[in-house]
């Protein structure tokens, strides 16, 4: 009993929010919590009862113990006590996730390897809306923002989630879920500033606008200073970002809920480019360094309707429109996306829980042409049709559950893609859970992989390499195929003692058709030679690793959370490719060892003291240089000065003046180091 209560307190349960897609993944991977079924509910406190997900809205009480995936949840408490101010920095606490800063406003984030600013094997969703751009199948983390106080939780699922979520969920899914408007009533104002986070403010107000309808409006602004230069010149990577939005949640009947939400983010991000060109009489230089900035304007509007037909049956329909506009010195992207998504869950007999769905996405872009990057088709509209079905079968009720399912997609580049998945979960007792999973997932070609022409380097004759100027370019090709993985996973979760949970995941991923550049093709232009490297699928390899995490609430006032991740990656070039750069980036671009230890300590009723220690092994950057590993730590002190007023002081990356984390790949922006920083914050609720 206590264990269950503890589980609630730790907020580790994946109580799927009404319409978030997570519901489907989880419901498909879980079964009724046997421990809770046997529990005398009257021994639970009111707070605990209020946290139970009820079956009447066709969602089962779901704890991490019952998910057949390597899942980790960042709860609001973790967000608040981390002192992090951005979403990617929060992800540093998740085992198996690699987060590295390239400069003050650029992050490389990946799961289980293949890291980079333009990492391609991750699906990121915010309230059911995909936030990766089909341009390079990655996420511009700088323009992903929301008031962190309004996030209910961030679910991170390592390993392929493609069967439920679709293409690009090759190595994992990150699902950012914001609170319902009903849970954010009242006002909140927070302001703060410091050495790196120079000034920031959030304002939010929530109220009822009808008997069963609630509204939240919010605005957020932040101004961040530059990082530390690696050497010499001052860093040019300060940034500003603002977000406004609202969310309305309405219960239109006892069976139906409707959500309407929108947000708009604008940002300006300084950066320094190293650029190359062919010399002209007027300007004989081959390369130069230029300070510039990127501007991003992104907005979206999303509507969702869910109907609960019975305890075991529900429907959901979601439609969103997303507008993305980004101007960079070397590339411009304007994109409009419309996405429609339908899900239906029902039970078949007493032991089968079936979920199926249909989806359609249309994404139309308009890409700018610069002297550095151009596309064969500057404008393109892409259709994506998808469907999936999954059946969760209780082989032995409460003990052994088998889940089988697949997603079927059709995209304009590679046609049909089939991404199946099979999982087995065994729960011999409520303290022990074992699971195993085999799945296939694909990374479908990005717009860039299919059609980019990127002039990334010009070599002068003075180097002795070439008699005349040699211009190098990378070319996307229409032959570029999907990359694929078959992933084998094993997991074990246990609650060895009261108030402690441990989670172990092992994986072996077998990749095929990975992206590299094939050997260059020479041609001649008027005054120079050209070496074009076509992007091809000429690499295969495998990764394996282990992730261990533990959470221990020693006392009500002290909680420790630790994690360790191990990753090995072995890559082989095929068909004569000599692209050592991408091979070595694939093999060593993510740290082999990573560790994190967090302590959340309530000194007294009104004072919190939190520490976060992080360790990261060395990585090899794209330029073959080795970036050393580092150990650093954050500290936070918060004081509830009055009932509605909190003052906090946060020190970040305290162990050294500055440390290097990563370098940019493909687009040559100057990397900077992460400095030690400090900020203070005042939060007022009314």
Partner 1 sequence: MPLHSTCKLWKKFFCMLPLTVLLAALMPQYASAASPGEHQIKAAMIFNMMRFVDWPESALPNTDGDIDICVVNRGAMTTAVESLRGKQVKGKNITVRQIVKAGGFSGCHVLLLSDTDRQTTSAILEQTRSTPLMTVGDSRGFTAAGGVFGFIILEGKVRFEVNLASAQRHRIRISSQLLKLAQTVLE
The residues binding partner 1 (CB under 8 A) are 15-18, 31-34, 36-39, 41-42, 44-47, 49-57, 59-61, 180, 182-183, 208, 211-212, 251, 254, 311, 348-352, 389, 391, 393-394, 397-398, 402, 404-406, 414-418, 420, 440, 442, 481-482, 484, 486, 512-513
Produce one character per residue of 373-384: b if its CB has 16 or more CB atoms within 10 Å, e if not.
Answer: bbbeeeebebeb
Contact 7, 433 (CB under 8 A): no
Quote the least distance from Cβ 416 to partner 1, whole Å: 6
Quote the least distance from Cβ 184 to partner 1, whole Å: 12
Q: Which is nearer to partner 1, 166 or 222 (CB)?
A: 166
Quote the least distance from Cβ 152 to partner 1, whole Å: 9
Produce one character per residue of 459-491: b if its CB has 16 or more CB atoms within 10 Å, e if not.
Answer: bbeeeeebeebbbbbbbbbeebbbbbbebebeb
Quote the least distance from Cβ 583 to partner 1, whole Å: 20
Own/partner pairs, 86-94, CB within 8 angstroms, 24+ separation: 86/141, 86/145, 87/141, 87/144, 87/145, 87/146, 87/148, 87/154, 87/176, 88/141, 90/148, 90/154, 91/154, 91/156, 91/174, 92/596, 92/614, 93/561, 93/563, 93/596, 93/598, 93/612, 94/156, 94/563
Max Cα–Cα distance, the chain, nearest Å: 86
Q: Which is nearer to partner 1, 40 or 526 (CB)?
A: 40
Q: Which is nearer to partner 1, 513 or 563 (CB)?
A: 513
Quote the least distance from Cβ 253 to partner 1, whole Å: 8
Q: Which is nearer to partner 1, 177 or 329 (CB)?
A: 177
Q: Which is nearer to partner 1, 297 or 402 (CB)?
A: 402
- Residue 43 sits at φ, ψ, to 5 deg, of -85, -5
What CA–CA distance (Å, rounded) separates 292 from 290? 6
Q: Is residue 13 classed as helix, strand or coil in its secondary structure?
A: coil
Tokens of 546: 């282990």
What CA–CA distance (Å, rounded) separates 241 from 226? 14
What CA–CA distance (Å, rounded) separates 332 from 603? 51
Quote the least distance from Cβ 340 to partner 1, whole Å: 23
What CA–CA distance (Å, rounded) separates 234 from 197? 18
Q: Which is nearer to partner 1, 388 or 679 (CB)?
A: 388
Which residues contact residue 540 at a Cβ distance below 8 angstroms, ignoring those fewer than 6 apart?
A: 511, 512, 513, 514, 571, 572, 574
In 105-211 the beta strands, taken as DSSP E runs, fall at: 106-111, 122-126, 129-130, 151-158, 172-178, 186-194, 197-210
Quote the least distance from Cβ 527 to partner 1, whole Å: 40
Which residues contact residue 190 at a Cβ distance below 8 angstroms, ignoring those fewer than 6 apart?
A: 149, 201, 202, 681, 682, 683, 684
Neighbours of 287 (CB within 10 A): 14
Tokens of 587: 């093999």
Contact 416, 94 (CB under 8 A): no
- Residue 573 sits at φ, ψ, to 5 deg, of -85, 145
Matching residue, tokens 């994190």: 596
Quote the least distance from Cβ 606 to partner 1, whole Å: 18
What CA–CA distance (Å, rounded) separates 589 from 273? 22
Quote the least distance from Cβ 86 to partner 1, whole Å: 26
Q: Which is nearer to partner 1, 236 or 440 (CB)?
A: 440
Quote the least distance from Cβ 499 to partner 1, whole Å: 22
Quote the least distance from Cβ 69 to partner 1, whole Å: 19
Which residues contact residue 625 at a Cβ distance below 8 angstroms, ignoring those fewer than 6 apart?
A: 663
Q: Which is nearer to partner 1, 310 or 523 (CB)?
A: 310
Give the single-character DSSP code of 39.
S
Q: Which is nearer to partner 1, 211 or 280 (CB)?
A: 211
Tokens of 311: 């305890």
Q: Which is nearer to partner 1, 219 or 400 (CB)?
A: 400
Q: Which is nearer to partner 1, 195 or 254 (CB)?
A: 254
Q: Which is nearer to partner 1, 52 or 217 (CB)?
A: 52
Q: Which is nearer to partner 1, 208 or 527 (CB)?
A: 208
Quote the least distance from Cβ 250 to partner 1, whole Å: 11
Tokens of 490: 């094993």
Quote the least distance from Cβ 331 to partner 1, whole Å: 27
CA angle 515, 481, 370 (to 5 degrees): 65
Tokens of 440: 């296939």
What CA–CA distance (Å, rounded) separates 47 from 167? 39
Output the 3-class SS for 641-653. EECCEEEEEEEEC
Quote the least distance from Cβ 571 to partner 1, whole Å: 18
Quote the least distance from Cβ 404 to partner 1, whole Å: 6
Q: Which is nearer to partner 1, 230 or 311 (CB)?
A: 311
Q: Which is nearer to partner 1, 199 or 422 (CB)?
A: 422
């Amino acid at each position: 009993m206590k264990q269950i209560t503890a589980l609630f307190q730790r907020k580790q349960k994946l109580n799927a929010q009404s319409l978030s897609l997570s519901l489907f993944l989880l419901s498909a991977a879980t079964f009724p919590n046997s421990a809770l079924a046997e529990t005398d509910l009257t021994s639970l406190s009111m707070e605990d009862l209020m946290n139970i997900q009820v079956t009447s809205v066709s969602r089962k009480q779901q704890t991490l113990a019952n998910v057949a995936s390597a899942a980790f949840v960042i709860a609001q408490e973790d967000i608040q006590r981390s002192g992090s101010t951005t979403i990617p920095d929060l992800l540093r606490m998740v085992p198996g996730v690699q987060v590295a800063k390239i400069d003050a406003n650029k992050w490389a984030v990946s799961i289980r390897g293949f890291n980079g600013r333009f990492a391609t094997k991750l699906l990121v969703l915010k309230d059911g809306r995909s936030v990766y751009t089909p341009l390079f199948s990655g996420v511009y983390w700088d323009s992903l923002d929301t008031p962190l106080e309004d996030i209910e939780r961030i679910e991170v699922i390592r390993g392929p989630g493609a069967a439920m979520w679709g293409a690009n969920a090759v190595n994992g899914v990150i699902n950012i879920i914001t609170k319902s408007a009903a849970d954010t009533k009242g006002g909140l104002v927070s302001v703060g500033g410091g050495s790196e986070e120079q000034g920031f403010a959030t304002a939010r107000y929530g109220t009822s606008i009808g008997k069963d309808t609630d509204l939240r409006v919010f605005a957020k602004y932040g101004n961040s200073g530059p990082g530390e230069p690696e050497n010499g010149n001052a860093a040019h990577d300060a940034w500003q970002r603002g977000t406004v939005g609202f969310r309305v949640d309405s219960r239109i009947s006892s069976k139906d809920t409707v959500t309407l939400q929108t947000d708009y983010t604008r940002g300006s991000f300084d950066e320094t480019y190293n650029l190359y060109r062919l010399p002209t009489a007027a300007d004989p230089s081959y390369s130069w360094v230029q300070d510039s900035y990127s501007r991003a304007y992104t907005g979206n509007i999303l509507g969702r309707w869910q109907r609960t037909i019975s305890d075991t049956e529900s429907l959901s329909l979601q439609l969103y429109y997303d507008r993305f506009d980004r101007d960079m010195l070397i590339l411009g992207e304007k994109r409009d996306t419309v996405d429609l998504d339908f899900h239906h869950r029902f039970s078949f007999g007493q032991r089968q829980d079936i979920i199926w769905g249909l989806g359609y996405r249309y994404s139309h872009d308009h890409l700018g042409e610069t002297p550095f990057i151009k596309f064969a088709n500057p404008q393109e509209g892409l259709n994506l049709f998808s469907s999936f079905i999954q059946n969760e079968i209780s082989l032995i009720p409460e003990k052994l559950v088998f889940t089988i399912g697949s997603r079927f997609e059709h995209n304009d580049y590679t046609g049909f893609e089939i991404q199946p998945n099979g999982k087995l979960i065994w729960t011999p007792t409520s303290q022990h859970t074992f699971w195993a999973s085999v799945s296939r997932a694909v990374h479908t070609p990005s717009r860039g992989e299919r059609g980019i022409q990127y002039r990334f380097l010009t070599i002068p004759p003075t180097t002795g390499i070439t008699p005349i100027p040699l211009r190098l370019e990378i070319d996307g090709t229409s032959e570029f195929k999907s990359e694929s993985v078959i992933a084998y996973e094993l997991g074990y979760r246990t609650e060895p003692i009261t108030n402690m949970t441990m989670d172990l995941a092992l994986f072996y991923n077998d990749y095929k058709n990975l992206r590299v550049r094939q050997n260059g093709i020479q041609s001649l232009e008027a005054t120079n030679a050209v070496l074009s490297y076509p992007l091809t699928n000429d690499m295969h390899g495998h990764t394996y690793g282990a992730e261990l995490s533990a959470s221990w609430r020693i006392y009500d006032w002290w909680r420790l959370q630790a994690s360790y991740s191990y990753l090995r990656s072995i890559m082989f070039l095929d068909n004569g490719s000599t692209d050592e750069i991408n091979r070595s980036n694939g093999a060593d671009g993510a740290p082999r060892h990573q560790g994190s230890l967090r302590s959340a300590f309530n000194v007294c009723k009104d004072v919190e003291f939190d520490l976060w220690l992080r360790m990261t092994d060395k990585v090899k950057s794209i330029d073959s240089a080795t970036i050393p590993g580092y150990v650093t730590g954050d500290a936070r002190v918060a004081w509830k000065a009055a009932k509605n007023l909190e003052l906090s002081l946060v020190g970040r990356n305290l162990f050294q003046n500055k440390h290097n984390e990563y370098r940019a790949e493909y687009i040559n922006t100057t990397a900077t180091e992460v400095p030690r920083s400090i900020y203070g914050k005042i939060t007022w609720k009314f």
